[in-house]
Structure 1
Amino acid sequence: MAINDDRTDTNFIVGGYDFLSELDAQKASLDLSKIKVLEERVKASRPKDIKAVYEKAIENKIFKSPIGWEYLARLRDRLYASGFSEEELIPIPIPVSLTRHSAFENLSVQQRIRPVTKDNKAEFKRLFPYILNIFLLIIVIAMFIIASTSDSDNILNYKRNVTNRYSSWEQDLTQREKVIREKEKKLGIDSSEGYYGGANND
């Protein structure tokens, strides 16, 4: 009878262990291949060499699964059989908690109840596009205002500036012609033609 009937379609069995995830199964497979390499070196080794391999494997945290830890336990048994005492051997560390919620149960009530904190980064990421769009819209509006009120000619105010310039010139010419006619009257020059009318009669 299977322990977990829910996972019949995806079983991750390696070395007689049924793992909960594919990643754990891959770690176990890797441990199996490491064990094969070490077995070739340790088989005919002296107890001191076996101890060195055992200690290096623990110090370098070579094994990441129960398969590797079981191998370390077998090495430990061989070392006991060779005459080493428990005090002379490093204990095998188990880097995972085997009891569920043990850390949670040890916490006080205040530590268990955590206030809901707002995730400011997520809030900023959500609002950033809106802020950026508003900023860009303000810049575009400011550019249109500057372009339309500017004295230099551009595509927005070209017609108005040219019209204003010509009307200013026309007004200036009319003013000058008026002054000239007044001077002619003072000097007694009376011309019924326009200002440039008789210039080519000579």
Structure 2
Amino acid sequence: MDGKNGSNGQKLLVNRYEFETQQEYERAKKEQAAAKFIRQKLEFAAPEKVLQIYNKVIDEKMFETPVGLEFLRELQTHLVNDPSVPSERIHNIPVKTKVAEQGESGLEKTLEEKSKKEPPEVRKWHRRFGVVLLLVFILIAMVIAMFAILGTSDSVTILNYKEQIINQYEEWETQLDEREKAIQEYEQKYGIDSSQSQN
């Protein structure tokens, strides 16, 4: 039994499976037609031919909806019950499941579980991301260390140059004052008049 478009309130049914979206419904209709075509081709086929087609259909991931998976299960059962077909040559049926999860906002989110591990490309990018993240943290630590060293060092930098220059001039001024005082004491001690020596 097949339903019609769900926009006017009718249910979207294929083989008594009800679908939520028009897209899922259309996919199920295509899988139903493909299953019917394959059934007709395999009606009088040898078990080896059935096995080849079954494995090819699974490898190409032609069926994803319950309608297609039901057909695959029929073929698999037929092959398992045939003693001329070794069970290790019969591929398993991969299933993608959808899980509805209630979020904090109250909206439903649909999550798709992965049937296989991440592809090597994704793992490669994850590894690269980890390395880049580590380098970023190292660089941040280096910048913080540089500012700490800069703040505690006595050398002249752009941050403390004015203060350092003023301190240097004050030091020179005190040294000059001390020398001038020593010279005046020497002149007084030996009776030298500094105003006469300048003329």
* TM-score normalised per structure 2: 0.43
